[in-house]
């Protein structure tokens, strides 16, 4: 299959060797009362990508492709949260504090769940990650290798933090990654725009980007 409209040049992939990765579409970042808002952000911006992302998810499921959902999530005792991460910034609530949706960024809490519209179904992978990138301390590379996955299509939040970190980690491990431009968002529109530019710069130095309609066209 080929995504003709991908930039900086067309992106070829084999459905059986490609996964759709939705990064951190969890209530903590998208709904009020979670980690995103506690950092001082307007979370309503992120909600806007949900319908488009759902359309892509449905099309990918229909095609029979592997779906991977990630969550930024820590153990209840925060043993996997380095002091530098815990203390950074000036949030009103810190990781592990009790918020309106339970403890902030802690596994199993209501706020840590994938939003209802994109909830995982049987057979899809759910990866809890203590870092911003999806490979750090998750064992994901080995699982992808065992499954023969070589290509990764990315959506999710936020573009310049967990999505871009995951794409860069993937790139260094030899995967061909493509960011679905309208299935990702940032609290800072300028950061999203810059991330899209830097991913595909210098001849796809990190990977490709494309509008999701171009992926859906390839699947039809």
Question: Interface with ligand TIU by CB under 6 A: which residues?
Answer: 24, 29, 39, 72, 132, 157-158, 161-162, 187
Name which of 43 and 218 has its Cβ closer to ligand TIU.
Answer: 43
Query: Is 129 one of the annotated active-site residues of the chain?
Result: yes
Identify the burial level of 15 via C-beta atoms within 10 angstroms of its C-beta, where 0-12 means exposed, 13-18 middle and 19 or more buried. middle
Active-site residue, selected from the candidate residues 24, 28, 128, 176: 24
Q: What's the alpha-carbon Rg for the chain, to the nearest Å?
A: 16
Nearer to ligand TIU, 18 or 158 (CB): 158
> Least CB distance from residue 200 to ligand TIU, whole Å?
20
Distance of alpha carbon 94 from its chain centroid, rounded? 22
Active-site pick, 28, 81, 129, 192 = 129
Q: How far is the CB of 39 from ligand TIU (least distance, A)?
A: 5
Determine the distance from the C-alpha atom of residue 140 to the mean position of all C-alpha atoms in its chain, rounded to a whole number.
Answer: 14
The residue whose two tokens read 């030899």 is 174
Distances (CA, A) of 10 to 22, 92, 202, 215: 22, 44, 15, 11
CB of 28 to ligand TIU, least distance (A): 8
- Verify whether residue 162 is a known catalytic residue: yes
Catalytic residue among 128, 162, 176, 183: 162
DSSP code per residue over 56-68 = HHHHHHHHT-EEE
H helices present in the chain, as ranges? 27-30, 35-38, 44-47, 50-63, 83-87, 140-147, 164-172, 189-204, 212-219
For the chain, give me the number of helices (H) and strands (E)? Answer: 9, 10
Active site residue 42: no
Tokens of 213: 């309609």
Compute the least distance from the CB of residue 51 to ligand TIU, in Å.
Answer: 20
Nearer to ligand TIU, 38 or 52 (CB): 38
Q: Which is nearer to ligand TIU, 6 or 169 (CB)?
A: 169
- Nearest approach, Cβ of 107 to ligand TIU (angstroms)? 15
The single residue listed with the structure tokens 């009020």 is: 32
Q: What are the residue numbers of the active site?
A: 24, 129, 162
């Amino acid at each position: 299959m080929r995504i003709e409209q991908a930039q900086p040049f067309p992106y070829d992939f084999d459905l059986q060797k490609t996964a759709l990765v939705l990064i951190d579409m969890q209530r903590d970042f998208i709904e009020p009362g979670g980690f995103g808002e506690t950092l001082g952000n307007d979370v309503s911006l992120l909600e806007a990508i949900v319908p488009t992302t759902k359309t892509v998810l449905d099309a990918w499921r229909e095609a029979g492709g592997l779906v991977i959902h990630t969550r930024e999530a820590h153990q209840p005792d925060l043993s996997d949260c380095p002091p530098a991460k815990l203390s950074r910034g000036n949030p009103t609530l810190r990781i592990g504090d009790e918020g309106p949706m339970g403890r902030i960024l802690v596994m199993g809490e209501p706020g840590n769940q994938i939003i209802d519209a994109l909830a995982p179904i049987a057979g899809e992978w759910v990866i809890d990650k203590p870092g911003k990138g999806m490979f750090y301390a998750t064992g994901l590379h080995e699982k992808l290798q065992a499954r023969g996955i070589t290509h990764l299509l990315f959506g999710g939040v936020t573009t310049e933090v967990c999505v871009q970190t995951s794409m860069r980690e993937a790139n260094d491990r030899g995967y061909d990654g493509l960011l679905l431009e309208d299935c990702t968002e940032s609290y800072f529109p300028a950061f999203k725009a810059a991330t899209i530019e830097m991913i595909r710069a210098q001849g796809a130095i990190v990977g490709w980007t494309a509008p999701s309609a171009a992926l859906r066209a390839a699947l039809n």
